[in-house]
């Protein structure tokens, strides 16, 4: 099977590309590295079954040759990213999704959408199953991501009903693991970065808000299962075990041996208080459920962060002291030695040039 993966240079996208190649598929990876990292896919460039295209899917999605499936993962996904790129986030959720759907339509290909638990907003129903319509503020600071994904689901469903596109929708809950960026502002990466650099751990509110953390390998298995099916979904993909943010902070401090203190900051506007997926539908229709517990998942993630100390210093500065929900975290400086240019494949696709982000500053 030949699969086009938009956002394939990102955290989740690169793991999906790798999993597909590992099982013998061919992959066309499309990314403009607005939030991805060239290093995520550098080890795949020598694989003859891997092609890379530097592309902004909000402008167009063009893939030559056969396409059997399209996995649309392109989008900023962490609050600092979509607050820093609000219009780009809306564009990739709307125009980008439509361009990816048209690619699938032209090739009669399977299409899967990486949606998000954020479509549930700050839920009034707990835990959340796929029948819940959500509680979203359409004009709040988080709306650029929430509503972009809600529109992406709507247009995907419309393409299925109107054009018969073989659409599958995954609603992804908090996912963590190797290749997360230390400065991406998500709670797992922030806590690990702060613990390893001796910075205070930033906890918003009193820490009693909950999240459900799914290790990346488990999540990717779910995406592959959805890709291989004809199921439309939507499917919650996440770990149904719920932890408070304070519990996560304690686990990270214990695992890293850190003496970092915990500092509390105001809870951001519209930040969900509780978040846990019901995954019955995915268990029954896809035969999927998470296998890696948080202790093992955190161990692997801490080991990955510890193996990249060059990235931690600038990233710690970028996330220091907590961020107001209306002030996005600046991008951390690219570490020395990370390639800023990725050559295109032998087919003549232009090389990917990535401008180094500005130096980080505290907030």
Catalytically annotated residues: 145
Query: Which of 209, 179, 248 is closest to 19 using CA atoms?
Result: 179
Residue 220 Cα to chain centre, angstroms: 11
β-bridge pairing 262-265 and 214-215:
unpaired
Tokens matching residue 84: 């820093």
| Residue 238 · residue 114 · CB < 8 Å | no
| Residue 290 · residue 239 · CB < 8 Å | yes
**Residue burial 153-178, b: 16+ Cβ < 10 Å; e: rest:** bebbbebbeeeebbbbbbbbbbbbbb
Distance from C-alpha of 13 to C-alpha of 350, rounded to nearest angstrom: 20
DSSP 67: -
Tokens matching residue 120: 């549930």
- Please state whether the peptide bond connecting residue 127 to the residue before it is cis, i.e. omega within 30 degrees of 0: yes
Token match 């073989």: residue? 166
Query: What DSSP string runs through 309-344?
Result: HHHHHHHHHHTTT---TTSPPPPPPPPTT--SEEPP
Query: Which of 42, 20, 23, 47 is closest to 31 using CA atoms?
Result: 42
β-bridge pairing 2-6 and 69-72:
parallel
């Amino acid at each position: 099977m030949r699969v086009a993966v938009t956002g394939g240079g990102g955290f989740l996208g690169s793991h999906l590309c790798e999993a597909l190649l590992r099982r013998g598929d061919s992959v066309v990876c499309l990314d403009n590295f607005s939030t991805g990292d060239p290093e995520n896919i550098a080890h795949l460039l020598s694989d003859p079954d891997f092609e890379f295209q530097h592309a902004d899917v909000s402008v167009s999605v063009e893939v030559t040759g056969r396409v059997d499936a399209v996995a649309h993962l392109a989008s900023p996904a962490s609050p600092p990213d979509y607050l820093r790129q609000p219009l780009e986030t809306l564009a990739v959720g709307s125009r980008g999704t439509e361009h990816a759907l048209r690619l699938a339509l032209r090739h009669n290909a399977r299409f899967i959408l990486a949606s998000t638990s954020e479509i549930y907003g700050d839920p009034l129903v707990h835990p959340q199953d796929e029948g819940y319509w959500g509680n979203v503020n359409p004009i709040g600071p988080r709306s650029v991501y929430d509503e972009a994904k809600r529109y992406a689901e709507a247009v995907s469903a419309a393409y299925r009903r109107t054009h018969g596109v073989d659409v599958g929708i995954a609603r992804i809950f908090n996912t963590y693991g190797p290749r997360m960026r230390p400065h991406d502002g998500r709670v797992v990466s922030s806590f690990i970065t702060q613990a390893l650099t001796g910075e205070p751990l930033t906890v918003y509110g009193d820490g009693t808000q909950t999240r459900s953390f799914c290790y990346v390998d488990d999540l990717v298995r779910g995406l592959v299962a959805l890709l291989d099916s004809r199921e439309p979904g939507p499917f919650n993909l996440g770990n149904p075990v719920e932890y408070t943010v304070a519990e996560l902070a304690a686990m990270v401090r214990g695992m890293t041996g850190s003496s970092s203190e915990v500092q509390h900051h105001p809870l951001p506007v519209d930040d969900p208080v509780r978040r846990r997926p019901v995954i019955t539908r995915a268990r029954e229709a896809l035969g999927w459920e998470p296998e890696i517990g948080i202790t093992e998942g955190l161990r692997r993630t801490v080991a990955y962060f510890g193996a990249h100390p060059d990235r931690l210093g600038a990233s710690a500065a970028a996330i220091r002291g907590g961020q107001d929900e209306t002030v996005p975290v600046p991008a951390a400086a690219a570490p020395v030695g990370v390639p800023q240019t990725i050559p295109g494949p032998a087919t003549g696709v232009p090389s990917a040039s990535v401008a180094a982000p500005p130096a980080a500053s505290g907030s």
